[in-house]
Amino acid sequence: MHRGKGMKFVGDSRVPAEKKPNIPKDYSEFPGKTEAFWPNFLLKEWLVGAVFLIGFLCMATAYPASLEGVADPTDSAYIPLPDWYFLFLYQLLKYQFASGDFELIGNVVIPGIAFGALLIAPWLDNGPERRPSRRPIATAMMMLGTIATIYLTWESVEEHDWEAAEEQGEIITDDDIIEVDQDARGYEIYEEQGCIECHGDQMEGAGAAGPDLYDLPYGAEDIAEIAVEGIGDMPAGLFDGDDEELEVLSEYIEANGQPDDGDDGEEDDDEDDNGDDEEDE
């Protein structure tokens, strides 16, 4: 490069007035079949990129990103799960040697060593050998780390209750909620007996705690039985009122929270009608 006195610049700038010719290097002088990045290689690379992009777009179109119901901090029964690339850490913390009293091992020591070693790998494995087979310790360590990560992710996926996860967090839109009659005696009992805690204040369900109670395939008697004896994940013995209350409650639920008369369930109840009610639906 030209330096010192006699240099010419463009105007009063520091850009040299002397132009360099814009010619590519001569790649025939390079070893092997070396080729130029621009434009030769970039064209081929773009071909690979285009194929990749098409595959990626097909995937994005075929599998939309999932969206669950809006965040509800009060739903304590929700089983959380981080995105898949954090599962290995999440799984690690579940093991006994890495949780509880040994929490430090799971959240600081093991990840610290693993990621720390990754960060300073060039100084841990500082010999000149590059072939994996000639540096067995480094190779073994990396293999171990990779296998452990894959294994932990796998285990976490295995252990997760995907069926339960499928049901929880579903989107509840306003259309799905039926306004129940909150002045009815049935609702009072529904509230008192604690059904409301798992089935929501509009019987719309409460996430993972309990499903909605709309349009049940049961008659009032079956519902009464479920209330006392439980069903599936719903524990038995939740109802502890008297028989008459149980009847009002089950009829209220059967009627989707819209009893005909509103305020007073008592006058209207005739047990024999149960069969007919079912047919109404």
Partner 1 sequence: MLQRIYDWVDERMDITPLWRDIADHEVPEHVNPAHHFSAFIYCFGGLTFFVTVIQILSGMFLTMYYVPDIINAYESVYYLQSEVAFGAIVRAMHHWGASVVIVMMFLHTLRVFFTGAYKKPRELNWVVGVLIFFVMLGLGLTGYLLPWDMKAYFATVVALEIMETVPIIGESLRTLLQGGEIVGAQTLARFFAIHVFFLPGALLGLLAAHFIMIRRQGISGPL
List the interface residues with ligand HEC, window 227-266 (CB under 6 A): 227, 231-235, 238-239, 249, 253
CA separation for the pair 190, 241 (Å, rounded): 11
Pair of tokens at residue 173: 């839109």
CA 15-21-22 angle, 5° bins = 100
- CB distance 241 to 268 below 8 Å: no
User: Between residues 168 and 256, which has the closer beta carbon with respect to partner 1?
Assistant: 168
DSSP state at residue 132: G
Would you say 125 or 221 has its CB closer to ligand HEC?
A: 221
In the list ligand HEC, partner 1, none, the entry touching 232 (Cβ below 5 to 8 angstroms by class) is: ligand HEC
For partner 1, the closer of residues 42 and 231 by Cβ is 42
**Which is it for the CA torsion 113, 114, 118, 122, positive or negative?**
positive
Nearer to partner 1, 68 or 221 (CB): 68
CA dihedral for 131, 134, 138, 139, sign (positive or negative): positive
Candidate segments 112-120, 210-218, 252-260, 269-277, binder of partner 1 by CB under 8 A: 112-120
Q: Which is nearer to ligand HEC, 106 or 219 (CB)?
A: 219
Bridge partners (DSSP) listed for residue 231: 234
Q: Which positions from 193 through 232 interact with ligand HEC, judged by CB under 6 A?
A: 193-195, 197-199, 209-211, 213, 216, 223, 226-227, 231-232
Helix (H, G, I), strand (E, B) or coil at 110: helix
Among 55-63, 214-222, 225-233, 251-259, the segment contacting partner 1 (CB under 8 A)? 55-63
Q: Is the dihedral of CA 258, 263, 268, 272 positive or negative?
A: positive
DSSP 98-148: GSGGGHHIIIIIHHHHHHHHHHTHHHHS-SS--SGGG-HHHHHHHHHHHHH
Least separation, in Å, of the C-beta of 206 and partner 1?
12
CB-side exposure of 194: number of CA atoms within 13 Å?
Answer: 11
From residue 60 to residue 99, the character string flagging contacts with partner 1 as x (rule: CB under 8 A) and all else as - is xx-xxxxxxxxxxx-x--xxxxxxxxx--xx--x------
Say how many residues touch partner 1, by CB under 8 A.
86
Kindly tell me which residue out of 200, 205, 207, 219 binds partner 1, with binding defined by CB under 8 A: 207
Q: What does the binding site for ligand HEC look like in residue numbers (CB under 6 A)?
A: 193-195, 197-199, 209-211, 213, 216, 223, 226-227, 231-235, 238-239, 249, 253
